[in-house]
Structure 1
Amino acid sequence: MAFGRQTLSLVLFYWLCNSAAFAVILRTTEKSVWANEFESIELTCLIESISTNNPRIEWKKIKNGVPSYVYFQNKISGDLEHRALLREPANLLILNASRSDTAQYRCEVAAIDDQKPFDEILISLAVRVKPVIPRCSVPDAVNVGSSTELRCIENEGFPQSQYQWFKNSEELPEDPKTSSKFYNSSYIMNIETGSLKFRSVKKEDAGEYYCQARNEAGWSKCIRQSMEVYDLDIVGIFLKVLGGVAAFIFVIVGICQIQKSGYCSCKDHRETNYKVPQHENRMEYTTPDEGHFRHKSSFVI
């Protein structure tokens, strides 16, 4: 009985070994890969077990759910042509990676002489793109106590950039309350949108500002821009308002003088008065027989 069990175990072990020996088995060192733009990246497709000589190897790129060949019939094709090569045993080396290479890649190996003749591995590739120079907006001058906003944006970086503001070459902390130097400042920084808002500007907020956009691929910054802070000029505002009122009064007085001088007629020409012409040599004909009846020359029969 014990002999029969040993025999069965040996047979089962032999069958498992043969099954593994005649099956295509693939593995990869990393299923999710990152690469920087313009650099090289290798997607690994390692053949752990195979019996067939010269198996068929193919690589496909899957983007937006649509597959396309990048290695087919022993040559690189598609948008990786002249930018990639196959390395032993079945690794795909992409040269000069671009943002368009971000996709899923599938390594497929077919071996007709193996009991398990096919295996595949799916690898995700994401190409990081360095941010371009961001567009920065800094006001030239603001008044003490007023609110203002500095803006910074760029749309080319991948993953999405985060933003950091600098004043006079010194990095501003995201929360001013964490720094003794900027404790009294009223700004609010949003590192996701690049906004730097001042709720109430102070004299010490004046200086040179610039913004830096950064992600895992690198960083870029805009040029320095100066922001000046002025005290509110109450006297100047009053004089400007007074000057405006005086100019308005001067215009009104000028119009009245023109009307009085007769250069402007305000009467409508349609209101001309017409008088009935008077006849100087009117003749009246009256006889005693006519009594009180008068016959005038203007009477018409």
Structure 2
Amino acid sequence: MYPLRRFCQCHIPSSLGVILRTTDKIVWANEFEPIELTCLIESISTNNPRIEWKKIKNGVPSYVYFQNKIAGDLENRAQLREPANILIFNATRSDTAEYRCEVAAIDDQRDFDEILISLAVRVKPVVPRCSVPEAVTVGTSTELRCLENEGFPAPQYRWFHNNEELPQDPKNSAKFANSSYSINPDTGGLKFRRVRKEDAGEYYCQAKNDAGHAQCPTQIMEVCE
């Protein structure tokens, strides 16, 4: 007969180490509005772990939370929330960067974990600079220009003629089907291959992104025979 085997029922700890997770690794926020970066401790045995946050911009790290207090350019603009989240009271465009949450737990078998979060702060466009010729001749070509360089992400541009938005493709509208214009929504250019008498009137441009929009003052373009 074979001897009976004895099996050892060893205790396997429920937590083998500190484990972090986040609700969003890519976060968008609007400028001057609050945003919370989540660093959730899913598993840990250490009672008082060391929590640090670092901001990484252009490859250079700097402290955001160090030795139990907010540091760097977020000082007086953020706070640590349980368990290890960072709440920014009013995000600014300078906060666009990567943020790394680090937790060290000396009593855990796996005594360190980190989470990397990318934050992008949307910036509302400012009033764009518009260039509209005062007078052009029928049958000639001309271009109206619109430029805004503060908004983030880069805005899309729309043009309005006599307070009516010009369709992206004039051929899709019976009213503008005979017009020769083309709009580049990325650069803000409004080009006419052959100006018509009907193209005379008031023009303004609007720059728009997910954070908001702005438009330039109305300008008048005359069309001469």
How has the CA–CA distance of structure 1 residues 118 and 146 changed in structure 2, closer, same or farther, with 3 Å as cutoff? same
**TM-score for the superposition, normalised by structure 2:** 0.95
- The aligned residue for residue 150 of structure 1 is 144
Partner residue, 1:199: 193
SS at match of 2:198: helix
Cα distance in 1 between the residues matched to 2:180 and 2:152: 31
Quote the offset at 1:230 in angstroms: 1.4
In structure 2, how many angstroms separate the alpha carbons of the residues matched to 1:107 and 1:146? 60
Instruction: Please give the alpha-carbon distance, in whole angstroms, between the structure 1 residues aligned to 2:15 and 2:190.
Output: 64
Query: Is 1:100 paired with 2:94?
Result: yes
Match of 2:171 in 1: 177
**1:203 and 1:4, CA in 2 relative to 1: closer, same or farther beyond 3 A?**
farther
Q: What CA distance in whole angstroms lies between the structure 1 residues aligned with 2:87 and 2:47?
A: 23
Task: Classify the secondary structure of the residue corresponding to 1:21.
Answer: coil
Please say if 1:212 is aligned against 2:206.
yes
Residue in 1 aligned with 2:124?
A: 130
Amino acid at match of 2:67: Q
Inter-partner Cα distance in structure 2 for 1:175 and 1:138? 20
Aligned to 1:59: 53
Aligned residues: 223
* d(CA) in 1 for partners of 2:59, 2:137: 55
Partner of residue 162, structure 2 = 168
Offset at residue 216 of structure 1 (A): 1.1
Deviations 1:212-270 (Å, cap 9, x if unpaired)? 00111111000111111111xxxxxxxxxxxxxxxxxxxxxxxxxxxxxxxxxxxxxxx
Structure-1-length-normalised TM-score: 0.72
Quote the offset at 1:97 in angstroms: 0.5
Instruction: Quote the offset at 1:202 in angstroms.
Output: 0.5
Q: Please report how far the alpha carbon of residue 162 of structure 1 lies from its aligned counterpart in structure 2 after TM superposition.
A: 1.2
Give how far 1:22 is off. 3.8
Alignment CA distance shift 1:202-1:4 (3 Å): farther
Matched, 1:43 2:37: yes
- Map 1:260-271 → 2, pairs under 5 A: none
Displacement, 1:182? 0.4
Q: Distance in 2 between matches of 1:114 and 1:22?
A: 7
Counterpart Cα distance in 1 of 2:158 and 2:144: 12
**Structure having the larger proportion of residues in helix:** 1
Instruction: Report which of the two has the higher share of strand.
Output: 2
Does the alignment pair 1:186 with 2:207? no
Per-residue Cα deviation, 1:2-47 (whole angstroms, up to 9, x for no partner): x969x57x64xx42xx1x4141010000000000100110000000
Unmatched runs of 5 consecutive residues or more in structure 2 = none
Query: SS of 2:23's equivalent?
Result: coil
Amino acid at match of 1:87: R
User: Which position in structure 1 is the counterpart of 2:111?
Assistant: 117
**Residues 157-183 of structure 1, C-alpha deviation per residue, up to 9 Å, x if partnerless?**
111111000011111111100111100
Q: 1:4 to 1:135 in 2, by over 3 A?
A: farther
Letter in 2 for 1:77: A
Alignment RMSD (CA, Å): 1.6
Task: Give the secondary-structure state (helix, strand or coil) at the position aligned to 1:68.
Answer: strand
Deviation at 1:132, TM superposition (A): 0.5
Matched, 1:85 2:101: no
For residues 214 and 34 of structure 1, what CA distance do their matches in structure 2 show?
17
What amino acid is the match of 1:185?
S
CA distance in 1, matches of 2:39, 2:113: 11
Percent of pairs with identical residues: 74
Q: Which runs of 4+ in 1 moved over 3 A?
A: none
Deviations for 1:138-162, whole angstroms, at most 9, x for unmatched residues?
1111111111110000111111111
- Give the greater-gyration-radius structure (CA): 1
1:241-280 residue pairs with structure 2 within 5 A? none
